[in-house]
Amino acid sequence: MANAQNKPEDTEKWEPVPPVVTAGKVVGEAPSDAVVLFDAKSGLSQWKDVASGGDAKWDVKGDVLTVNKSSGNIETKKSFGSYQLHIEWKVPANITGTGQGRGNSGVFLASIGKGDDGYELQVLDSYNNKTYVNGMAGSIYKQFIPLANPTRPPGVWNVYDVIWTAPTFDGDKVKTPARVTVLFNGVLVENNIELLGPTQYIGTPAYRKAHGPSPIKLQAHGDKSEPLSFRNIWVREL
């Protein structure tokens, strides 16, 4: 629990800066056993508004889903335990802003609350954009720095492929922590790491309450930069 003396800067890390890696081309066609969460055919049928539980109100144009910052976060109607996730994202070519105010969003691998509660894989324009390194693209927010920075330039699609092992609990006590592996544009950036608990903006992460299978959540961050987009989202339950 954060106290009145905590500040966001207390948990920011700026070094070591991960090396820049040029990623290869990635093809993300959904396999036959996947649950398609978003494409041109499914639209927003698999998603709901987090705050109200009603229809998701992000913007859909063909096979592209664009964040609607005024409507808030969205999450899947279905809950998932452990899974493999594929998701592609892109910031606009004309993106403005710096640091955390440049193309900020997040993929919450398990959503356990109505706000930004859960386990966040950070989405951010980290192409020539300096910020604290446990808050750059490919990080587990404020917990784990990515092993490399393969972010593509603004206007070009990035790809996350994620293996999520959900935590288990014995009563309210964590039995096995959550684990995650992340490939970012085909580059390994998180290698089967053991999460310290749900991610937090302020304070030290810890497992504070038990939960079961959970939705996957996408963040409508409140920064002032132009909204980013997602496409080609699918999940395979494990």
CA angle 225, 228, 233 (to 5 degrees): 160
Q: What is the domain-level CATH number for residue 85?
A: 2.60.120.560
Arithmetic mean of pLDDT over the chain = 94
Q: Is residue 4 part of a domain?
A: no
Length of the chain: 238
Is 114 within a domain?
yes
| Structural domain includes residue 217 | yes
Instruction: Kindly report the pTM of this predicted structure.
Output: 0.91
What pLDDT does residue 111 have? Answer: 97
CB 49 within 8 A of CB 72: yes
Residue 89 CB contacts under 8 Å (≥ 6 apart), including other chains: 105, 123, 157, 158, 160, 228, 229, 230, 231
Which tens digit of pLDDT belongs to each residue from 96-128?
Answer: 999 999 999 999 999 998 888 999 999 999 999
The reply to whether 145 falls in a domain is yes
Residue 26 domain-assigned?
A: no
pLDDT at 4 over 70: no
Q: How many domains does the chain have?
A: 1
Query: Which residues fall within 8 angstroms of residue 48, CB to CB, at 6 or more apart?
Result: 54, 55, 56, 74, 75, 76, 77
Residue 170 lies in a domain: yes
Q: What is the pLDDT of residues 43-62, one digit of tens each?
A: 999 999 999 999 999 999 99
Q: What is the Cα Rg of the chain in Å?
A: 17
pLDDT per position as a tens digit, 194-223: 999 999 999 999 999 999 999 999 999 989
Determine the structural domain holding residue 128 and report its residue range.
36-51+59-237
